[in-house]
Amino acid sequence: MSKRHLLALYGNFDEAEAVVQELRNTSIKGFDVNEDMIVKSPIEHPEVEKFLGDKPVYVQWFTLIGALLGGSLGFLGISSAQANFFMQMKGGKPIVPLPPNFVLTYELFILGGVYITVLGFLICAGLPAKRSPLYNAKVSVDNIGILVKGDESVISTLKAIFTKHKALEIQEEAGK
C-alpha cells in the first residue's frame, strides 16, 4: 500500500513533544513512530533528541578513522619522500628524523580528522538532500514541524492527533 505524508506545524517545543509522546503511546497499525516520523526544528534543541529517544550518531567514527589515516599516511608519505631524497646530504643523521616529522604528522592528523568528519557529517545527515515531499519554510522561522508518513488508512488517525494538539497548520500530500 502506498504511503502518504502529513506535516503538522507547532508553535513551541512543548506542544511538539506532547504530539510525539502521544504518537509513541498510541499503537497505530501501519505507522512506525521510529521510522515514519521526522521532527524539524529551526534551532538545535537537545530536548528534541530526548523526547525522540536515543538514536545513534556515527560521525565520531569517521573522525577517528580520518585522523588515524591522516596521521599515518602523512607520516608514511613524508618518510618515504625522505628515504627517496638521495640528493640531500644526511651526514650521519637519521634518514627519517622523528621529531620534525612529528610536527607534520600532527598537522596531517588534524587535517584528516577534520576532512573526514565533514564527510561523515554529510553521509550521516543525508546531505546533500532532495527537498522532502512536504516542506514548509516556516520551519526555518519559528515553527516546529512533525512530518509523518503512513498508509492511507492511518492518515486520518494521525491528522486527528495533530488537530487535537492544536496544530497551527497541517499539510497533506495529495493522494496518488
- By CB under 8 A, name the binding residues for another protein: 38-46, 48-49, 52, 55, 57, 59-60, 63, 78, 81-82, 84-88, 97, 100-101, 103-104, 106-108, 110-111, 113-115, 117-118, 120-122, 124-132, 135, 137, 139-142, 145, 147
Closest to another protein by CB, 140 or 153: 140
CB of 12 to another protein, least distance (A): 10
Q: Where are the beta strands (DSSP E) in 13-135?
A: 37-40
CB of 62 to another protein, least distance (A): 9
CB of 153 to another protein, least distance (A): 25
Closest CA to 73 of 127, 21, 113: 113
Closest to another protein by CB, 45 or 159: 45
**Kind and range of the H or E run holding 111:** helix 98-124
Whole-angstrom CA distances from 81 to 41, 43, 87, 136, 173 are 50, 48, 12, 55, 60
Closest to another protein by CB, 21 or 85: 85
Closest to another protein by CB, 108 or 158: 108
Closest to another protein by CB, 56 or 175: 56
CA distance 87 to 114: 35
Is the Cβ–Cβ distance between 160 and 62 less than 8 Å? no
CA distance 108 to 106: 5
From first CA to last CA, the distance across the chain in angstroms is 11
CB of 79 to another protein, least distance (A): 9
CB of 98 to another protein, least distance (A): 11
CB of 117 to another protein, least distance (A): 5
Closest to another protein by CB, 1 or 91: 91
Is the Cβ–Cβ distance between 30 and 150 less than 8 Å? yes
